[in-house]
Structure 1
Amino acid sequence: MRRKGAGKEGVPGRRSKAWSAQGQNVRAIPGGRGLNVVGSVLAAAERGAGIVDGLIDFRPEDLRGSLRRGMESNLIVFVVDASGSMAGRDRLSAVTGAVISMLRDAYQRRDRIAVISVRGSAPEILLPPTGSTVTALRRLEGAPTGGRTPLGEGLMMAHELIEREHRREPGRRALLVVLSDGRATGASGTAGARRAAAVIRDRGLAGSLVIDCERAGRIRLGLAADLAKRLEGVCVRLDEVSADSVAGVIEAV
């Protein structure tokens, strides 16, 4: 999938690849980390530097540091369509299980996870960004479902949350995960969802993954796939929306 913010130094962790202060030495570059001696010598040689009193005649423009590639931790923001009683409960249950599974590995991965519920007249942040399984269980269990689907409003809430977290930790890259069939029945409607997707896409602070929850039928509307396209993200349809399947597809991206 398209990883937004490539080239920026990430917060160290173990989820996804990033340019980092730690990790494998990729190559020597101007302005890199530390002093890359071999790269600096080669740069001086390419310039035609002479030997003065047995020493290479280095100049400031010859100096090279190291570009390193390590692993980073992420901010993962779930936007979950919790409208409809049974389907909404199933989606929230799957996300809750996936969140707990991922946070149990948080000591190594150092991820932070947030959950936004899209239901009723307005979306709600069920889980502010956290790395705590205790907090996640306390806040997610028994969350209400049903009502309309203010999808556009939920996406804008996710955008604002990602913006706040970016100001606080610029190096922590975000992944937006939307569980929805793409229908937007809130006040802003489909137009609002498309506007919010454009804002998220243009700001470029998050990669996007849409998990298509449209029920099987003779006619498929393809609204989730359209949303993923507008986000410039990836759309995945799962045979079963469960904790394991949701966590598995996030692991894969």
Structure 2
Amino acid sequence: MRLPGAGEGLSGRRSAAHGPRGATVRAIAGGHGVHVPGTVAAAAGRGAVVEDGRLALETRDLRGALRRGTESNLVVFLVDASGSMAARDRLSAVTGAVTSLLRDAYQKRDTVAVITFRGPGAEVALPATRSIDAAVRRLARLRTGGRTPLAEGLVEALHLIERERRREPGRRALLVVLSDGRATGPGGRERARAAAAALRERGAAGAVVVDCESGRVRLGLAAELADSLGAPCVRLAALDADAVAGVVRAGI
């Protein structure tokens, strides 16, 4: 499970990226610098000959290097904070995962954000940050309970990701949704499917759904949400900080 593609990302040490630094993959037109063997090969391919010890090059022959390195990422947790005990478990796992990821944010240069949805809507509980202190302080104040406005959470996630994309265009995003897929309120499931489809169609982020459904009777709604997002759906043996952080590290 990886973020789709390898883009011209901000330099970091997490996921694969094409950019001005890193190992040379091949020679391409419009690449970085001048790739001499590739340029010579391109000239030879069009029939250029060596005269007086010189190869007559044309502008169209020039090739640069396609380099593959690593980039930093934006990790956005979208957490169902509705209900009581189960919601507190989800928030506890995310808080621990955020802290774990931010411990190595200096090296990886990643940023992390948290959005919760409960009651009347969704809120950005933690704006994109690399600060452990800010994360611990803000996440300690989170509340649980109420209905499950999943669609509002997905819309808020799209807005946050697109704001961050405008601010830092090279930083690719991973959306991690912790939910059982339930969406209460009028048209809840239909609106959630539409919001998930919008995220998918806009190509705003890679995504993964952590299925938090419990109990003997399983509705499979998290899998439906994952399908709408075009994302994998993961069930964890234990919903704790290490497991959630592991999902992120595997995803990017």
TM-score of the two chains, using structure 2 as the length reference: 0.97
Deviation string 1:84-128 (CA, Å, 9 cap, x unpaired) is 111111100100000000001001111111100111111111000
Q: Are the structure 2 counterparts of residues 139 and 187 from structure 1 closer, same or farther at C-alpha, using a change threshold of 3 Å?
A: farther
CA distance in 1, matches of 2:187, 2:239: 27
CA distance in 2, matches of 1:116, 1:185: 18
Residues 211, 237 of structure 1: 8 Å contact kept: yes
Question: Where does 1:125-144 land on structure 2 (aligned, <5 Å)?
Answer: 125-144=124-143
Shift of 1:47: 1.2
The DSSP-based 3-state class of the residue aligned with 1:184 is coil
Give 1:247's match in structure 2, choosing from 230, 242, 245. 245
Residues 150, 188 of structure 1: 8 Å contact kept: no
What is residue 20 of structure 2 aligned with on the other side? 21
1:115 aligns with 2:114: yes
What is residue 228 of structure 1 aligned with on the other side? 226
Identity %: 62
Alignment RMSD (CA, Å): 1.2
CA distance in 2, matches of 1:195, 1:102: 31
CA distance in 2, matches of 1:125, 1:188: 23
Structure 2 spans left out of the alignment, 5+ residues: none
The DSSP-based 3-state class of the residue aligned with 1:183 is coil
Q: Are the structure 2 counterparts of residues 74 and 20 from structure 1 closer, same or farther at C-alpha, using a change threshold of 3 Å?
A: same
Deviation string 1:26-61 (CA, Å, 9 cap, x unpaired) is 000000111111110111111111223321100001
Shift of 1:205: 1.9
Q: Which amino acid aligns with 1:199?
A: A
Residues 75, 113 of structure 1: 8 Å contact kept: yes
Deviation string 1:125-184 (CA, Å, 9 cap, x unpaired) is 100011111110111013111111110000000001111111111111110000000001
The DSSP-based 3-state class of the residue aligned with 1:244 is helix
CA distance in 2, matches of 1:11, 1:187: 41
Structure 1 spans left out of the alignment, 5+ residues: none
Shift of 1:188: 4.8
CA distance in 1, matches of 2:98, 2:147: 24
Deviation string 1:191-248 (CA, Å, 9 cap, x unpaired) is 111010010000012001000000031x211100111111001110001110000001
